[in-house]
Amino acid sequence: MLKVRNLTKVYYTGIFSRRSIFALNNLSFDVNRGDIFGIVGESGSGKTTIAQILLRLIEPDHGSVYFDKQNLLTLNGEKLRRFRQRIQAVSQNYESALNPRMKIEESLKEVFLVKGKKRCKEITRKSLSARLNEVGLNEEHLDRYPAQLSGGQLQRINIARAIALEPELIIADEPTSNLDVSVQAQIIHLMLGLKSKTNSTLIFISHDLDLVSLICNRVAVIKRGKIVETGVTEKILKHGGKKCLFQ
Ligand code: ADP
Ligand code: MG
């Protein structure tokens, strides 16, 4: 489904000496339809950079990304707009993903209006609360502002927004890293349940190899912008994926 080839992204830092950081260095991997594909690596290894490139939020310096044989990186205009509906993201910053001045009802509605081009009248309160039921919330949450909800509830709303337009691929970048331990498991359960219900593909990004090996069928271990291991989860663990990660 997704073929990532030779991705390189360089950041330059420093005003006088232009020091270069290879956030990604010639990185390639494949994701099959239906996979729960784990990308695991320590902080600063380039995980978020991959997510941002796949979502077309930043451009790489080199490389290509094929999504169903179409080169994502060359899409623009209407084609890019249509493509954006097919890939959605859930990020670790569950708070900043929602507008603090908008009620949840408006935030949810916005997804359909902006991305789905539905008309306002077609989106009823009933249909929105049905969306919330899918993520374990209910109609009363529609009237709240983000500040009135817990981290777990906010992340549930972000998940509802991500799945609203039935994307084929969901990229979850450390979706539970900023949540309490007790809530993490619930959110993971929810994501896995929705993933199998909707038949979508999931890229799960984390620094936690134990977690990734528990839920993902295939994994890429990344270190300093390079893939050090990739393949079926059990094999990676046998080959000492953990060792690669923490050496
Ligand atoms: P991860 O998500 O694995 O923690 P990132 O993809 O966020 O890693 O970052 C990879 C590397 O790129 C890090 O060394 C980070 O400091 C650097 N980096 C990321 N974004 C920028 C930026 N906008 N400017 C400069 N360096 C950046
Ligand atoms: Mg990150």
- The confidence score (pLDDT) of residue 15 equals 76
One-letter amino acid of 81? R
How much of the chain, in percent, has pLDDT values that exceed 90? 70
- Comparison of pLDDT for 84 and 206, the residue scoring more: 206
User: Sorting pLDDT into bands at 50, 70 and 90, what band is 16?
Assistant: confident
CA distance 82 to 92: 25
236, 221 in Cβ contact below 8 A?
yes
Q: Which ligand 1 atom sits closest to the C-alpha of 43?
A: 4
Nearest ligand, CA 50:
1
Mean pLDDT of 157-162: 95
From ligand 1's centre to the CA of 44, what distance in Å? Answer: 6
Q: How far is the CA of 232 from the CAs of 7, 134, 215, in angstroms?
A: 21, 30, 12
191, 202 in Cβ contact below 8 A?
yes
Residue 1, pLDDT above cutoff 70: yes
Residue 175 exposure: Cα atoms within 13 Å on the Cβ side? 32
- The confidence score (pLDDT) of residue 191 equals 94
User: Sorting pLDDT into bands at 50, 70 and 90, what band is 184?
Assistant: very high
Residue 55, pLDDT above cutoff 80: yes
User: Sorting pLDDT into bands at 50, 70 and 90, what band is 38?
Assistant: very high
- The confidence score (pLDDT) of residue 82 equals 85
Q: How many CB atoms within 10 Å of residue 121?
A: 6
Mean pLDDT of 44-53: 96
Any atom of ligand 1 within 6 Å of the Cβ of 11: yes
User: Sorting pLDDT into bands at 50, 70 and 90, what band is 247?
Assistant: low
- The confidence score (pLDDT) of residue 113 equals 81
- The confidence score (pLDDT) of residue 117 equals 63
From ligand 1's centre to the CA of 49, what distance in Å? Answer: 6
- Comparison of pLDDT for 145 and 94, the residue scoring more: 145
Among 10, 27, 48, residue to substitute to test ligand 1 (most atoms within 8 Å of Cβ): 48
Any atom of ligand 1 within 6 Å of the Cβ of 91: no
Q: How many CB atoms within 10 Å of residue 211?
A: 18
- The confidence score (pLDDT) of residue 234 equals 83
Any atom of ligand 1 within 6 Å of the Cβ of 113: no
From ligand 2's centre to the CA of 143, what distance in Å? Answer: 32
Provide the mean pLDDT of the chain. 90
Q: CA-CA-CA-CA torsion for 74, 75, 77, 78, nearest 10 degrees? A: 160
User: Whose CA is closest to atom 13 on ligand 1?
Assistant: 44
Asked which of 2-6, 79-83, 213-217 is least confident by mean pLDDT, the reply is 79-83
From ligand 1's centre to the CA of 145, what distance in Å? Answer: 31
Nearest ligand, CA 60:
1
Residue 239, pLDDT above cutoff 70: no
Residue 246, pLDDT above cutoff 60: no
Give pLDDT tens digits for 220-238: 999 999 999 898 888 877 7
How much of the chain, in percent, has pLDDT values that exceed 70? 94
Any atom of ligand 1 within 6 Å of the Cβ of 201: no
Nearest ligand, CA 18:
1
Burial letters for 80-114: b for 16+ Cβ neighbours within 10 Å, e otherwise? Answer: eeebebebbbbbbebeebbeeeebbbebbbbbbee
From ligand 1's centre to the CA of 224, what distance in Å? Answer: 10
Residue 112, pLDDT above cutoff 90: no
Q: Please classify residue 115 by burial: count the beta carbons closer than 10 Å to its beta carbon, then call 0-12 exposed, 13-18 middle and 19+ buried.
A: middle
Mean pLDDT of 82-102: 90
- The confidence score (pLDDT) of residue 120 equals 67
- The confidence score (pLDDT) of residue 48 equals 96
